[in-house]
Structure 1
Amino acid sequence: MHFFVTGASGFVGSNFVNELLFNGHKVTALLRPNSNPRVEFIRKLKICRGELFNDWSKDMEGCDIFVHCASEGVVNNHNDWEKCAKVNFIQTSQIIKNAFESGITKFIICGSCFEYGYSGDEFDRIPITAPLKPVGAYGFSKAAGSLFALNFAKDKGIKLVVPRFFHLYGKGDHKLRFWPKLVGAAQAGENFEMTLGNQLRNFMRVEEAVKKLLDIAMSLDNYSDGGIIKNIGTDQNMSLLSFAKSEWERLGAKGRIINGVIPYRNNEVMSYVPEL
């Protein structure tokens, strides 16, 4: 199969490209100008550099599946409404239409648990039918992009899945995110300061997530035309503090975890656990 993958330099994107290459698939990868993949690609592939709003018709010719991993606000600018809306909604809708007009009829548009927002506190396990009550620019713009994709799929009669990932960690994770900071402190023999850590989360290694993403891609023919949503997670539900302690022990850390030092962010949603 020939995949066109956006956001191929990102955390999920670069790991997914390698999963595709490892399994013998052909990949055309779209990277932002001047960006480098978080995880080095395991072999040569076709790389395009540019923006989502550019015309990629020629590069999409002959591709079987379009996989959209690109997004704004995951690490930085999570509450920058202009940047998040521009990438996660406007430019996302543009490149989906570009892919469809180029002849692609199978789509995966990567979503996020943050689209559910405050619904996380209203369900023990969040179903895909939960109301979208996003908090902030990132969650709102991701929800808008997903809704566009789902409606576009129904209108055009194409096969499309929105996998909503919960909390991913692993190789290539951005240094400013929780897990890399934890690992860095453990390896340096330092103490690790964090919030109280009462947030209930669902944790999945990125290596496992991209395997699930490939499984979805290879089963797209089995879905009816029109878009569907899938929650992507594991049975690993625990508080952030429990997760930190588990990783701390696994890493053989010498320092201490000091929780309660860092305040919660405004509008912190305390529970993101999926119904799978």
Structure 2
Amino acid sequence: MATVLLTGATGFVGRQVHRRLVALGYDVRVVVRAGTASRLDVAVEKGSLIETDDLFAQDPAWWKNACAGVDTVVHCAWYVEQGRYLDAPENARCTAGTFALAQGACDAGVSHFVGIGTCMEYRLPGDRLTVQAPLEPSSFYAACKLSAYHMLQQWLGARGVAFSWCRVFYLYGEGDHPRRLAAYVRRQLEDGKTVQLTSGTQLRDFLDVSEAGAMIADVVETRQAGAINICSGEAVTIRTFVERIADEYGRRDLLEFGTVPPHASDPAAVVGVCNLVRPPQAAD
């Protein structure tokens, strides 16, 4: 089975990708920040673990060595500190570090590079966002992701490396940050506390992170090139999404819609059209 180099394997999305790749039989080599290997959900042999103080500070030569014998790179790592990442300058470092990784991967003979983008690269709002939809990021984070997409598309394409760019939509589930919507709602309900929310009329495309991880791993299987929407394709209001969670606890009475004003930059709709090609075994 082919060898995959995975970054971000201790993160929200990366840990799910890691599990799925191992389940599919891939030999996975992970690059993690020094001292964080204990957070890995899947056991990794010593020879398949690479630790570094800052993977975004490494040069192409370092990455060439890390990618020796690797067939596919799946790059999940990025700066994502909740409440800060949208406008953080660290995003620019991530873009530069991602390009260094791509250079090293090419020099090592990697044949397939999978990057992780965001639905926020699109012009919003949009209730039916295909991969042909106009691109117009509205945050520094999304602008840096889109810059990485364009850079990698040109650089890898000119060198004959297959390039896949997985744009994730609204993920929730295991490992979610406590300040994000689903985790916040569950915590409040479990504590018997009221849940203060906007009116909840915004349309979103919600997807469990475990399914997103499986979808990204499927891209490794199929080698589907280009931009790929990692989404459910289902338009759901925030109110409906939250009520589904509350129904698990039988506590809709704790939901207080309209008690929080909507953020000025919050789009009315972010819903994707999924263009993922599933491998034959996934479709059976």
Provide TM-score, normalisation by structure 1: 0.89
- How far did residue 239 of structure 1 move? 1.1
Q: Which residue of 1 aligns with 2:208?
A: 205
Runs of 4+ in 1 over 3 A off after TM superposition: 33-38, 251-255
Equivalent-residue separation in structure 1 for 2:243 and 2:232 (angstroms)? 18
- How far did residue 94 of structure 1 move? 1.3
Rate the CA distance shift 1:56–1:255 in 2: closer, same or farther, 3 A: farther
* Paired residue secondary structure (2:148): helix
- How far did residue 167 of structure 1 move? 0.9
- How far did residue 22 of structure 1 move? 2.3
* Paired residue secondary structure (2:13): helix
- How far did residue 11 of structure 1 move? 0.3
Task: Count the aligned residue pairs.
Answer: 266
Instruction: Tell me if the contact between 1:190 and 1:255 (Cα under 8 Å) persists in the aligned partners.
Output: no
Q: Does 1:148 align with 2:151?
A: yes
The letter of the residue matching 1:53 is A
Q: Which residue of 2 aligns with 1:96?
A: 102
Q: Which residue of 2 aligns with 1:242?
A: 240
- How far did residue 199 of structure 1 move? 1.8
Q: Which residue of 2 aligns with 1:18?
A: 19
Structure 1 residues without counterparts, runs of 5 or longer: none
Q: Which residue of 2 aligns with 1:42?
A: 42
- How far did residue 254 of structure 1 move? 6.9
Q: Which residue of 2 aligns with 1:109?
A: 115
Query: Which stretch shifts more, 102-111 or 257-266?
Result: 257-266
Equivalent-residue separation in structure 1 for 2:124 and 2:86 (angstroms)? 19
Equivalent-residue separation in structure 2 for 1:149 and 1:76 (angstroms)? 27
Equivalent-residue separation in structure 2 for 1:74 and 1:256 (angstroms)? 29
Query: Which stretch shifts more, 153-162 or 5-14?
Result: 153-162
Instruction: Tell me if the contact between 1:77 and 1:83 (Cα under 8 Å) persists in the aligned partners.
Output: no
Alignment of 1:1-276 (within 5 A): 1-35=2-36, 40-45=40-45, 46-50=48-52, 51-54=55-58, 55-73=62-80, 75-87=82-94, 89-116=95-122, 119-121=123-125, 123-220=126-223, 223=224, 228-253=226-251, 256-276=254-274
Query: Which stretch shifts more, 249-258 or 105-114?
Result: 249-258
- Percent identity over the alignment is 24
Rate the CA distance shift 1:31–1:253 in 2: closer, same or farther, 3 A: farther
Instruction: Tell me if the contact between 2:9 and 2:18 (Cα under 8 Å) persists in the aligned partners.
Output: yes
Instruction: Tell me if the contact between 1:6 and 1:70 (Cα under 8 Å) persists in the aligned partners.
Output: yes
- What whole-Å deviation, never above 9, does each CA across 1:199-221 have from its counterpart, x for those lacking one? 2110111111111111111111x
Equivalent-residue separation in structure 2 for 1:35 and 1:76 (angstroms)? 22
**CA RMSD of the aligned region, Å?**
2.0
* Paired residue secondary structure (2:89): helix
The letter of the residue matching 1:162 is W
Rate the CA distance shift 1:78–1:229 in 2: closer, same or farther, 3 A: same
Equivalent-residue separation in structure 1 for 2:118 and 2:176 (angstroms)? 16
Query: Which stretch shifts more, 99-108 or 264-273?
Result: 264-273
Structure 2 residues without counterparts, runs of 5 or longer: 275-284
